[in-house]
């Protein structure tokens, strides 16, 4: 009796309208400009309708955070494919990471925005894991090929990730020349890879 299917579809439509309009607001005016009332205005519904789909504003932010991690994971996977040697893959990963942050700063901002209650991040864990796994696997392979195969994978993976994030975050709070920023990134990653391989 396809009637409830249609309802389901309409619900989905509203939900994705919320996300679409929210994203427009964020891209145009930044995260601070995003409010439930503005979303409601944009989708031409009243405010409580938004709460039918997202239990809070934080839930909307969380949804975008998940989206961001998924997108980043995808970019990383693609970047990894372009090379076979693990050390080259690491270089490629760092490039993709940087490019992602540069192209989607709004995503990066919620993904790593400080002040997020850590418990709320549980729902995003799946997507974060996808990113984490790419790093772990590549690092693991790199370690196996290196001259010190007993190095701690988790430790090295976190170090790698931290270096990447550190640079992205630094250039976001005090943006200088993007080219020098990328130079710094390459320098840091090269140093890391060298320390890993030798």
Residues interacting with a second copy, by CB under 8 A?
30-32, 109, 112-116, 118, 121, 128, 154-156, 158-159, 161-167, 169-170, 172-175, 180, 183-184, 187-188, 190-192, 194-196
Q: By CB under 7 A, tell whether 47 contacts DNA.
A: yes
Shortest separation between residue 7's beta carbon and DNA, angstroms = 5
Place of tokens 């976190």: 158
Cα 65 to the chain's mean position, in Å?
A: 7
Structure tokens at 81: 């494919």
Sequential DSSP letters for 9-62:
HHHHHHHHHHHHHHHHHHHHH-GGG--HHHHHHHHTS-HHHHHHH-SSHHHHHH
Q: By CB under 7 A, tell whether 119 contacts DNA.
A: no
Which helix (H) or strand (E) is 130 found in, with range? helix 125-145
Give the sign of the dihedral formed by CA 35, CA 72, CA 167, CA 117.
positive
* Short-list 59, 67, 60, CA closest to 25: 60
Shortest separation between residue 37's beta carbon and a second copy, angstroms = 19
Residue among 58, 103, 145, 152 that touches DNA (CB under 7 A): 58
Residue among 2, 48, 115, 117 that touches DNA (CB under 7 A): 48
Q: By CB under 7 A, tell whether 56 contacts DNA.
A: yes
Cβ closer to a second copy: 17 or 116? 116
Taking CB under 7 A as the binding criterion, the range among 46-54, 67-75, 81-89, 132-140 that sits at the site for DNA is: 46-54
Q: By CB under 7 A, tell whether 117 contacts DNA.
A: no
Place of tokens 């140093």: 191
Shortest separation between residue 150's beta carbon and a second copy, angstroms = 14
Q: By CB under 7 A, tell whether 52 contacts DNA.
A: yes
Cβ closer to a second copy: 123 or 194? 194
Instruction: Please compute Rg for the chain using Cα positions.
Output: 20
Taking CB under 7 A as the binding criterion, the range among 47-55, 63-71, 154-162, 169-177 that sits at the site for DNA is: 47-55
User: 34 contacts which partner out of DNA, a second copy, none, CB within 5 to 8 A by kind?
Assistant: DNA
Q: How far is CA 167 from CA 38, 98, 161, in A?
A: 34, 9, 10
């Amino acid at each position: 009796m396809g009637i409830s299917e249609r309802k389901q579809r309409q619900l989905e439509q509203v939900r994705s309208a919320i996300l679409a309009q929210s994203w427009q607001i964020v891209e145009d005016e930044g995260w601070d400009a995003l409010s439930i009332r503005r979303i409601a205005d944009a989708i031409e519904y009243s405010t409580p309708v938004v709460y039918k789909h997202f239990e809070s504003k934080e839930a909307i932010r969380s949804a975008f955070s998940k989206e961001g991690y998924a997108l980043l994971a995808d970019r990383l996977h693609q970047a990894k494919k372009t090379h076979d040697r693990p050390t080259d893959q690491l270089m490629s990963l760092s490039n993709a990471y940087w490019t992602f942050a540069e192209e989607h700063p709004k995503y990066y901002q919620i993904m790593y925005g400080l002040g997020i209650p850590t418990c709320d991040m549980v729902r995003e864990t799946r997507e974060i894991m996808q990113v984490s796994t790419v790093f772990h696997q590549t690092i693991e392979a790199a370690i196996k090929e290196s001259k010190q195969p007993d190095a701690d994978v988790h430790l090295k993976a976190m170090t790698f990730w931290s270096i990447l994030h550190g640079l992205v975050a630094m250039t976001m709070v005090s943006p200088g020349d993007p080219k020098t920023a990328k130079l710094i990134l390459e320098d840091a990653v090269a140093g890391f890879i060298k320390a890993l391989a030798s």
